[in-house]
A and B are shown apart, each in its own frame.
Chain A
Amino acid sequence: MDQPLLEIDHLSKHYAVGRSWLGRGGGLVRAVDDISFVIQKGEILGLVGESGSGKSTVGRMLLRLGDQPTAGRVDFAGQDIAPMSQRQLRPLRARMQLIFQDPYSSLNPKMTVGQILEAPLRIHGRGGDRAARQRKVAEVLDLVGLRPGHAARYPHEFSGGQRQRIGIARAIILEPDFLVADEAVSALDVSVQAQVVSLLLEIRRRMGVTILFIAHDLAVVGYISDRVAVMYLGRIVELAPVASLYARPRHPYSEALFSAAPVPDPRANRQRILLEGDVPSPLNPPSGCAFRTRCAYAIPGCAAARPPLAELAPGHFAACIRPELELRRG
């Protein structure tokens, strides 16, 4: 378990916006700004943050969807995939997969479920002849709780939860080492959400796959993950084992997130920490700690320099210059 599968080192992704075609004017959005972390083999790392925090960008960069990162390394099983071209990445694609948020747009409406699931096997020359491939498809459908007979059907014949199972089947059919689940349960009904969460845990148990679970729902992330990273404005502000983080958050932003999360218990005793205002524009983030403009504990020193992630308890990292704070969860 303590063997890293992915090592992310000073990774950044910046976009130029509003620039004229001569390259003048505009600004730089720091969607992901100099983050470093490690994902251990076989672990589920949760990644939480609000919209604009850069969590989806991180997920896509680790899979190298789209362009090269602006800076930094992504070591996947020992090779740096950050500078690779899409062609160079193709053989690696079998080892890393993505589960999408929207189960409606992630399946090609013109293909049967069988064709969708067979495609990866054919592309990578796995699974032997046609009959063997179909056996493999049936096996995976069974694993995700669908019936082999469903292979002949089209995506529109399934409900949202079932489609998400098909998407998961496609992601695991090549037995990848690494899965990114990008808001994979957010679009589903509550009762179906739990089914899919259980399915992902079951798949991890059986296949030993490593998962980056990206979501905005702290409760779901906490339920499924071993460790959780909290992002704010393109940076990781806290990274800790679930038990440690959910027992005692060490960054004021995590505390605010916990405090804001609605608890399905009307008698829960809550003293809300209401954050003021909105997330600042990533075009023009505050100096020093990006959270200081909304932080209840900010001191003048917060504006001076960007605080590094420091280990405040075993395995528990937070980027805050005030480690003495006694923060609460909810």
Chain B
Amino acid sequence: MSEATLPAQPIEDIAPAARFRAVRRFVRHRLAMVGVVMILVLVLGSFLGPHLYPFDDLRIDMRNRFQVPFMGPHWLGADPLGRDLMARLMTAGQVSLAVGFAAMILSTLVGTAIGAVAGFYGRALGGALMRFVDAMLCFPNIFLLLTLAAFIQPGVWTITAIIAFTSWMEVARVVEGQFKTLRERDFAIAAMMIGSSDARIIFAEILPNAVAPIVVAATLNVARAILLESYVSFLGYGIQPPLPSWGNMLNSAQQYLTSAPWLAIFPGLAITAAVTGFNFIGDGLRDALDPRLDA
């Protein structure tokens, strides 16, 4: 029993790193995989589809106005101007998905920044920031959205910004909670002990450990953003025609709900598919990234 020397034995045969186990858990998550397929179909369809599909979304075809789906040249039918519904759905998908993703990125950045500052510094500053978050959450989202949309010139970028502005709070709450616990952990104190700047502790030490819940919240935020875009566009304050979005397609389909129901059904289905798809992925990520599963 002399001075300690370490045997090779306990270190070599180790289970694969946690990150790979998380990937494996995600791939095995059936619902998440369904979500991934749904989103892949929507994204590929919207962005690659127009290059393969014979009809242009703006071409007016007066001979085939109100064509019923599967009953003529237009696969999913045509609108009152005879424009191809499938082509319009694809272009609208580009807009809706792009708005959803961009709003997610923006809201995640804002939410993470505010949550990180509030959670890391705590005290009066953190308290004030989180009370602001609470206040924002008190407003029904849709009113906030509509009020803002009524004052601001609607467009793809303004709508994205408005949606992001009304949906960063959840992320901020998640991040604040994470930072509050993580900054008390010994490794964060150790980082302070070696003389790290606050920025280094926040970005290099704590943030990588908070990524999992942020990713989950961000994924769910895409679904939410797509839904919010549809709301405002449906109510006429969002993306303005002739640029189509799933929401404003629903809006223009309103008056033909009985005569040409397919005009509403297909955009509705697209929204449903996108929202459930992202929610499935979010649930899958939540399960896969659960740190309790990495012993």
Contact = CB atoms under 8 A, between A and B. Distances in A.
Direct A–B touching, Cβ under 8 Å: yes
Interface stretch (A149-157, A213-221, A240-248): A149-157
Nearest to A86: B192
B294 to A, nearest CB: 8
Interface in A78-123: 86, 89-91, 93-94, 96-98, 100-102, 105-111, 119-120, 123
Q: List the 5 shortest-distance A-B pairs measured between CB atoms, nearest first.
A: A93-B195, A106-B186, A195-B4, A110-B208, A120-B194
Interface in B173-219: 185-187, 189-197, 200, 204-205, 208-209
B18 interface: yes
B17 interface: yes
Given A108-B209, A199-B4, A90 B195 contact: yes
Interface in B88-131: none
A147 B12 CA distance: 12
Interface string B253-270: 000000000000000000
- Which size class do B's interface residues fall under? 20 to 34
B54 interface: no
Interface of A: 63, 65, 86, 89-91, 93-94, 96-98, 100-102, 105-111, 119-120, 123-124, 145-147, 150, 153-154, 156-159, 162, 167, 170, 174, 195, 198-199
Given A110-B208, A158-B11, A162-B11, A98 B193 contact: yes
A63 B193 contact: yes
Residue in A96, A108, A154 whose Cβ sees the most chain B Cβ within 10 Å? A108
B242 interface: no
A159 B191 CA distance: 22
Contacts of A198: 3-4
Interface of B: 3-6, 10-11, 14, 17-18, 185-187, 189-197, 200, 204-205, 208-209, 294
A159 B187 contact: no
Residue in A106, A107, A159 whose Cβ sees the most chain B Cβ within 10 Å? A106
B124 to A, nearest CB: 11
Nearest to A123: B195
Chain B interface main SS type = helix
Contacts of A98: 189-190, 193
A94 B195 CA distance: 7
Contact of A97 (B17, B193, B205): B193
B11 A109 contact: no
Nearest to A100: B186
Nearest to A89: B195
Nearest to B194: A120
Contact of A150 (B5, B11, B17): B11
Contacts of A110: 208-209
12 contacts: A63-B193, A65-B189, A91-B195, A93-B194, A97-B193, A105-B186, A108-B205, A108-B208, A110-B208, A119-B191, A120-B195, A154-B17
